[in-house]
Every structure is written in C-alpha cells, then in structure tokens.
Amino acid sequence: MTRLLWIAVLGLVLPLVLSQSVEQEDDLCKDVKCKKPRGSWCQVVEVDGSPKATCVCPKTCPGDQGSPVCSVFGKQYDSACELHKYACKRRKTIPMAFDKPCIASQKACTTDEFLQFPSRLLEWFMHLKEKNEFGRIDPNRRITLVDNALRMQVAMWKFDSLDRNNDRELDKAELLKFRYSLMPLEHCAAPFFTRCAKRIQGTDTKKISVAEWSGCLNVNIGPAPESEAEPAQNQEEPVVEEEEEDVEEEEEDDAPEAV
C-alpha cells in the first residue's frame, strides 16, 4: 500500500517539478543573446549549486526534443537543438525564423521557378501597396496584366520603403530584415537576392541600385503575357544557391550575453 502511495505521489509531483524546471530555464534564458561560441544557444546549468544561463553548443540532440523549426534562411531543422548543432558545426550564427516547419519548399529553386519569382514578388508588392493605400486588396488583379509604368510604380514604392537613408541604393543592412523575412516563405528568395546584389569594390557590402532593383523585377522590359511566354530551358534544373551566410547584427541590442 505504501509503495502504491509513493507511486501516486511521484506521479503528481514529478510533472510539476519538470514543469517548474522548464519554466525556470525559459525565464533565465529569456533575455540572453548567445554570441560565443558562434551558433550556440542558451541552456541552464548548475554552477556552485545555483542555476545559471550559459551559452553552449549541443553535441547531440535527443530524438524527442522539440518539433521542426525554420531558420531565417528558409532551411528546416528537426528541432531547435539540431539548428544550433548545425550552426555550431559551421561556426555560424543562424537565427530561427519561427518554431514550426518552413513554409518555403525545402527543394531547390528550379530555373522555371526562378524565372517566375520576380513576377510573384512584384505582385505581392502590388497587393501590399493596395492594402497600404486603400485598406484592401483586389485578389483578381494580376501583375502580368498591368503595364510597365504601373509595375515601375510598384517596384519603386517598395524600394523607397526599404531605402531608409534615402541614398537611392539598398545596402546590406536595409535588405537584411526583408531578406530574412522572405526566405522562410519562398525558396527562390535566396538566389534572387544573390543574382541582384553587387559587391562594392574594396568592401564586403552588397548594394542594389534603383536600376538593378527594377531590372531584377523585370519592370524595364514588358514581359509577354503568360500565354505567350516561351518556356524556360531546363525548367527543372535547380538554381545554384549561395551557402548560408553568417548573420551580422545591424545594431547591438540590450540583451545580456551569457558566459
């Protein structure tokens, strides 16, 4: 009887203890930003008998640890642990976009998809512009059915919203948040930005001019209607993507760094 009583007590107390432990770890790590080692994540460890937030690189990840997560580069991992394990191995900072599977396809962007991507992106900009100006969008409006002048207006509207210092160029910092918000949603976003960016001589800063931006979105030349467009060659050939870059912080925030 006593043994059964202890089992019942443990059944009630153990989940509560584990829950408190998880909450304590979440509280201690909530405002911690791990910078060293590169790719590490915050874990609570016991130091001199007291819990302490510490940035560590996971060596192994239990199979039941969490659910799939998506990085800002649009790559899906089996868990947050696996993301940080990979990031540590590559010695790179790879932020998580959201703690659920990626919306973007995990297959490589094909040539055909890549050629269609500028129109999809521009149509999205057009609907954002409609929402901003009129508070609603016309779901039946298609970018392929409007003239080049209107496409240019849409392209420049988005360019101006990203060009925060008004120098008529989009630098790496201005593109950063836009790129990282788009890549988890569209698997052709990374090669799109790679093709459009230019490397400034003597620096590692990538900038996109007004002409390059409009050219990348195909607003300088009026593409043929979809029904008349010629099929792309090697449509299923994947577009080669650049390796995941390391994240450079635009501005330092006030989050404490664990040691």
**Are residues 135 and 182 located together in one domain of the fold?**
yes
Q: Which amino acid belongs to residue 21?
A: S
**Are residues 258 and 204 located together in one domain of the fold?**
no
**Are residues 63 and 145 located together in one domain of the fold?**
no
In a domain, 95, yes or no: yes
**Residue from 173, 171, 198, 181 nearest 248 by CA:** 173
In a domain, 195, yes or no: yes
In a domain, 20, yes or no: no
Structural domain boundaries, residue 87: 32-104+250-259
**Are residues 142 and 89 located together in one domain of the fold?**
no
Exposure string over 53-90, b if 16+ CB within 10 A, otherwise e: bbbebbeebeeeeeeebbbbbbbbbebbbbbbbbbbee
Q: Which run of H or E residues covers position 206?
A: strand 206-209
Average pLDDT over residues 60-87: 90
Reported as a pLDDT band with limits 50, 70 and 90, residue 24 is low
Highest mean pLDDT pick, 4-8, 116-120, 175-179: 116-120
CA–CA gap between residue 130 and residue 128 (Å, rounded) = 5
pLDDT for 90: 93
> What does the mean pLDDT of the chain come to?
76
Count of the separate structural domains present in the chain:
2
**Are residues 211 and 130 located together in one domain of the fold?**
yes
**Are residues 193 and 258 located together in one domain of the fold?**
no
**Are residues 199 and 117 located together in one domain of the fold?**
yes
In a domain, 172, yes or no: yes
Q: Which amino acid belongs to residue 57?
A: C
- For residue 118, the domain's CATH number is 1.10.238.10
**Are residues 95 and 135 located together in one domain of the fold?**
no
- For residue 47, the domain's CATH number is 3.30.60.30
In a domain, 4, yes or no: no
pLDDT for 69: 94
In a domain, 128, yes or no: yes
**Are residues 95 and 116 located together in one domain of the fold?**
no
User: How many CB atoms sit inside 10 A of residue 247's CB?
Assistant: 17
pLDDT for 18: 38
CA–CA gap between residue 56 and residue 25 (Å, rounded) = 14
- Helix spans in 41-141 (H): 80-90, 111-134
**Are residues 50 and 124 located together in one domain of the fold?**
no
pLDDT for 239: 55
**Are residues 146 and 196 located together in one domain of the fold?**
yes
